[in-house]
Structure 1
Amino acid sequence: MNRRGFIAASIGIGIGIGTAALTTTPAQAKDTGKPFGPYGSPAHRRDADTVYVDPHGRGDFTTVQAAATTARTLVIAPGIYRETVTATVAGATWIGASGNPRDTVVVYDNAAGTQKPDGSGTYGTTGSATVTLRGEDFTAQNITFANDWLRADHPDITGTQAVALKVTGDRSAFFGCRFLGHQDTLYADSPAVTAIARQYFRDCYAEGDVDFVFGRGTAVYEHCHFRTLDRTDLGGAPYGFVFAPSTAGAAPRGFLVTRSRITSTAPDAYYKLARPWVPSSDTTAVPSLVVRDTRLGAGIDAAAPYANMSDSYPWQRQRFAEYRNTGPGAAVTVPENRPQLTHEQAESATPATYLADWTPRRARP
């Protein structure tokens, strides 16, 4: 699928990269004449620190990046924002104006192996991100973050990581957002090995194929939908891995997935649930993942749901566990391959425990 096909599919149907192309172009996208929906308009501000972003020029800014450097609250009109964005403002809130994340899409197509325009080298995984968020106390609501870089279009590039969103700030929350990509879609990280960054994802959707939810953050995914994509560039399983936490050894908790579901467009059992990432920058990492009360579809290999990224750091030595999962991908056929929490352990594997004294809240119209 070409770049325009990806964007059209993500807006019109909501599945993202793996969907047949439509014909929408950026100039045509959702130009309804009423770009701000329930969140008002530039003529009816709620406060002086709110700015309105609209690609057709009916707001204060036409790009998210320009708005993100000047204000804490962004109301973003429907449309496609083809740009990279880096935001550092603390306490920022971004709101998709229509209330539907398919309508407001921030997308770009850098990969780790993409050459920088100034000739200084390649972007690397972090540099490939369409959106990078560094400020604490960030909230996003009803927005799609996407990276539409495709392997098939760039057979000469071996660095195929292509991040849609990288977030490092503590107390970062995402409600009703979508994260679209292939490899390394959603990078939930912290600013340093010694820093704890709590992140909360509620009613969100993420899709990809390799390690597409990964990082060092203390991240809770509640009522989320993860979708593994089919691939044509591989001859057999595994196609990839849903989670790849890289939790610092001193951090008490990593990823918690609760009351969610995992589906797939790939053949049955062609995906692993997770593998641990111990990066060269932190060889003392002890990745942590708990998946509980979640439906695992047939796309997950029930017999062997975990694998190693490196034989030096086998998954069995990491902090991986499950609890009361359901679905064909959750069947415990080989008990030693599926560590389970006890009831007592599960009592502390909750969003409240992971988030401690922080209670994430949605933005209000």
Structure 2
Amino acid sequence: MVAVCGTSMTTKCFFVMASLYVLLALSQAEAETTQGSTAILITVDQSGKGDYEKIQDAIDAVPSNNVDLVFIRVKPGVYKEKITVPADKPFITISGTKAVDTIITWNDSGDIFESATFSVLASDFIGRYLTIQNTHGSGGKAVALRVSGDRAAFYVCRILSYQDTILDDTGRHYYNNCYIEGATDFICGNGASFFEKCHLHSISDGGGAITAQRRMSPSEDTGFIFFGCKITSVKTAVLGRPWGVYSRVIFAFTYMPNAILPQGWDNWGHSADQLSSVYYGQYECSGPGAVTSKRVDWARVLTSEEAAPLITKDSIDAKAWIRATPNSFKKKAFSTKN
């Protein structure tokens, strides 16, 4: 739980109650989803001691229109692969043991949808203890992780690139205790996503935007919520800029260093009329970069009442789909002919 400084007792009580509610709801959801859950176990090991030596081969072995929980355990190593989890292969978990020693890496740039090192097109996907990186560097769109499936979750992952690190494209997504690094728009897209206890690190040369959310209409229930996160930066940065004219981003209980520029946000050349539909909010953040007195006039300081429905996993319907690790495993021979 993030420490709250300089707040009233009412706000503290609200935060404690809201946090307990979120944890209770998630625990109940995990209990419901894991009771008796058994997954098919596939092991990837570069030494040849597993079922497959490449991660993509393990994914390819899962049948189309899969209905089983599949747990792909990846042994430590550097996997130089460009990976896709197809839309017709839901219910897959890919898990390392430690993110620092399970590294998936590629070097590509250009089209934002095609450059990704790791593309998740399927629903009900989980990534755990992985490093996913695009080593292209500056000079173009170079996505490390593209998430275009619904109900995807990532736990204790390191996601690294320079521009457009995470293309959080579409669907409901949850990121927990992840380290996310980039310089320009490095969390972008139009997902409905909840980032909890994540570390966002800007490597911008100065003034780079952390987020570029692409909500295009008031009817879209999308946006990025950062809850209990920490920001660090090599030089200066802004919290975001609007890729879409209804862009929605909220930072709550997040530490912001003095590297965050006083204005907080960049207008990306939009007119005053267009900026009136942007929803950029801040609630009970801490650190020298969290001061709101010089924020752009189209940013918001949220009240407890405004923040309450947003800073909970209910905003992404988490109770309906977030699942924990299966409690038992079985082996099953898959045909590679799908």
Using the size of structure 1 for normalisation, the TM-score is: 0.72
- The answer to whether 1:147 aligns with 2:127 is no
The correspondence of residues 268-287 of structure 1 with structure 2, limited to 5 A, is 270-278=236-244, 286-287=246-247
User: 1:103 is matched with which residue?
Assistant: 101
The correspondence of residues 249-268 of structure 1 with structure 2, limited to 5 A, is 249=217, 250-266=219-235
- Given that 1:209 and 1:228 are in contact with CA atoms closer than 8 Å, whether structure 2 keeps it comes out as yes
User: 1:344 is matched with which residue?
Assistant: 305
- The answer to whether 1:355 aligns with 2:323 is no
The correspondence of residues 294-305 of structure 1 with structure 2, limited to 5 A, is 294-301=254-261, 303-305=262-264
- The answer to whether 1:59 aligns with 2:50 is yes
Q: 1:355 to 1:291 in 2, by over 3 A?
A: same
> How far has the Cα of 1:230 moved from its partner?
4.7
Superimposed CA distance per residue, residues 281-328 of structure 1 (whole angstroms, 9 cap, x where no aligned partner): xxxx51111111111112211x21111223257544311111111111
CA distance in 2, matches of 1:59, 1:208: 34
Pick aligned residue for 1:310 from 263, 266, 269: 269
Q: 1:337 to 1:48 in 2, by over 3 A?
A: closer
> How far has the Cα of 1:171 moved from its partner?
0.9
Superimposed CA distance per residue, residues 181-207 of structure 1 (whole angstroms, 9 cap, x where no aligned partner): 1100011111xxxxxx11000011100
User: 2:142 is matched with which residue?
Assistant: 162
What amino acid does structure 2 have at the position aligned with 1:350? I
The correspondence of residues 117-266 of structure 1 with structure 2, limited to 5 A, is 124-151=111-138, 160-190=140-170, 197-231=171-205, 237-238=206-207, 240-249=208-217, 250-266=219-235
What amino acid does structure 1 have at the position aligned with 2:128? Q
> How far has the Cα of 1:350 moved from its partner?
2.2
What amino acid does structure 2 have at the position aligned with 1:67? A
> How far has the Cα of 1:362 moved from its partner?
3.3
CA distance in 2, matches of 1:81, 1:185: 18
Give the structure with the higher percent strand. Answer: 2
The correspondence of residues 79-94 of structure 1 with structure 2, limited to 5 A, is 79-88=77-86, 89-94=89-94
- Given that 1:184 and 1:212 are in contact with CA atoms closer than 8 Å, whether structure 2 keeps it comes out as yes
Q: CA RMSD in A?
A: 1.9
CA distance in 2, matches of 1:164, 1:352: 25
SS in 2 for 1:69: helix
* Identity in percent: 28
- Given that 2:82 and 2:118 are in contact with CA atoms closer than 8 Å, whether structure 1 keeps it comes out as yes
- Given that 2:275 and 2:298 are in contact with CA atoms closer than 8 Å, whether structure 1 keeps it comes out as no
- Given that 1:305 and 1:337 are in contact with CA atoms closer than 8 Å, whether structure 2 keeps it comes out as no
Q: 1:362 to 1:310 in 2, by over 3 A?
A: farther
The correspondence of residues 66-77 of structure 1 with structure 2, limited to 5 A, is 66-71=57-62, 72-77=70-75
SS in 1 for 2:58: helix
CA distance in 2, matches of 1:333, 1:347: 23
- Given that 2:124 and 2:321 are in contact with CA atoms closer than 8 Å, whether structure 1 keeps it comes out as no
Using the size of structure 2 for normalisation, the TM-score is: 0.78
SS in 2 for 1:102: helix
User: 1:293 is matched with which residue?
Assistant: 253
- Given that 1:139 and 1:362 are in contact with CA atoms closer than 8 Å, whether structure 2 keeps it comes out as no
> How far has the Cα of 1:256 moved from its partner?
0.5
What amino acid does structure 1 have at the position aligned with 2:156? G
CA distance in 1, matches of 2:156, 2:294: 36
User: 2:40 is matched with which residue?
Assistant: 49
User: Which portions of structure 1, spanning 4 or more consecutive aligned residues, are displaced by more than 3 angstroms?
Assistant: 312-316
> How far has the Cα of 1:351 moved from its partner?
2.7
User: 1:18 is matched with which residue?
Assistant: none
What amino acid does structure 1 have at the position aligned with 2:82? T
- Given that 1:277 and 1:287 are in contact with CA atoms closer than 8 Å, whether structure 2 keeps it comes out as yes
CA distance in 2, matches of 1:164, 1:73: 22
- Given that 2:176 and 2:197 are in contact with CA atoms closer than 8 Å, whether structure 1 keeps it comes out as yes
Query: How many residues in Structure 1 have an aligned counterpart in Structure 2?
Result: 278
Q: Unpaired segments of 5 or more residues in structure 2?
A: 1-36, 63-69, 328-338
SS in 2 for 1:304: coil
Q: Unpaired segments of 5 or more residues in structure 1?
A: 1-45, 113-123, 152-157, 191-196, 232-236, 279-284
